[in-house]
Chain A
Amino acid sequence: MIVGDKTRLRAMERGDIPAFLRWFNDPDIRGYLSMVWPISEAQEERWFEAHLGNEGRRVFAVETAEGVHIGNIGLHDLDWKNRNAVAGIVIGEKAYWNRGYGSDALRTLLRFAFEELNLHRVSLRVFDFNERGIRCYEKVGFRHEARLRRNHFTQGGYVDELVMGILAEEWNAQESAA
């Protein structure tokens, strides 16, 4: 368990699969992710089993301090030579949007990434129309690094994808200033 101020990150369990199915079939949520196809329980079970054996990826369940499972957060493409990883987050329970749970979970993940995993850099990607996501990432300390033009097709058109990143030294500086 990795504990933040208003969230905690725990390992995923098989029992979480029904929640994933509900979230990842919800159009309001899928629109912000690169998931395209409707997803079945069987596919989600297979994904879960594959995740157990994947050393390059760690996904955690995000819980409120009261233990409500509200979303997922993870580090992907863990690269030890370059001390690099890519973060991803989804708050699947919409009642918890815009209340700082995502920011807190991300800060908690970054603390783990820099202070325990010894990473040098964490980056993420976000569609340019996801203003709520971008604002959250900026608030947490991610800087704008790149705009991948027309990188994703959705709702009948191409959209840009932004790359944002934060370095260990930037994390340390903002932690010691806090």
Chain B
Amino acid sequence: MIIGDKTRLRAVERSDIPLFVRWFNDPEVLRYLAMYVPMSRAAEERWFEAQLADESGHVFVIETLEDGVPIGNLDVHDIDGRNGSAGCGISICEKDYWDQGYGSDALRALLGFCFQELNLQRVYLQVFDFNERAIHCYEKVGFHYEGRLREARFVEGRYVDELVMGYLREEWQDDMEGRSLGRGAEVL
């Protein structure tokens, strides 16, 4: 379990599958993700088994710290040990929990894990340029804008740009020292 200030990150269980099927068939959630085909329970079961065997990444369920409600998930993927880099992604799928700082907190906890435990030196993500709420969140957490992949995705009948954002370990360390909270994630 990775513990943040208002969220905690736990491993995915088989019993989460029905929840994932509900989340990842919700158009309001999907619109910000690279997923686009309606998802079956069978497909989600297969995905679950595949991620168990996948050494190049980890997927976690985000729960509220206060009462353990699963509200979304996040992952670190394409872990490249030699280069010390990985990509990450996050989705708060329970819409009642949007815009309340849960995503930022979960991401901060994940970054602490990436830099302090996985020994990474760079974490990056990609985001659609129309996803202003997410971009705002990533900037707040400390990601830096690295570029714009022009018209890289076709969604909702048009090509949209995708932004690349990155966060380096030394930036994270500087930010942590400057932050009054004074800590990243505590890993139990």
Contact = CB atoms under 8 A, between A and B. Distances in A.
Interface of A: 36, 81-84, 120-121, 123, 143-153, 158, 163, 165, 167
Contacts of B85: 150-151
B151 A120 contact: yes
A157 B159 CA distance: 37
Contact of B151 (A121, A144, A148): A121
B159 A120 contact: yes
A169 to B, nearest CB: 9
A84 B152 contact: yes
A101 to B, nearest CB: 28
A145 B149 contact: yes
B84 A153 contact: yes
Interface in B55-111: 82-85
B93 to A, nearest CB: 22
Nearest to A123: B149
Contacts of A83: 154
Contacts, number: 63
Contacts of B122: 149-151
A153 B154 contact: no
Interface string B108-130: 00000000000001101000000
Contact of A153 (B83, B144, B168): B83
B154 A158 contact: no
16 contacts: A82-B159, A84-B152, A120-B151, A121-B152, A144-B147, A145-B147, A146-B149, A146-B164, A147-B146, A149-B146, A150-B121, A150-B168, A151-B83, A151-B124, A158-B121, A165-B152
B83 A81 contact: no
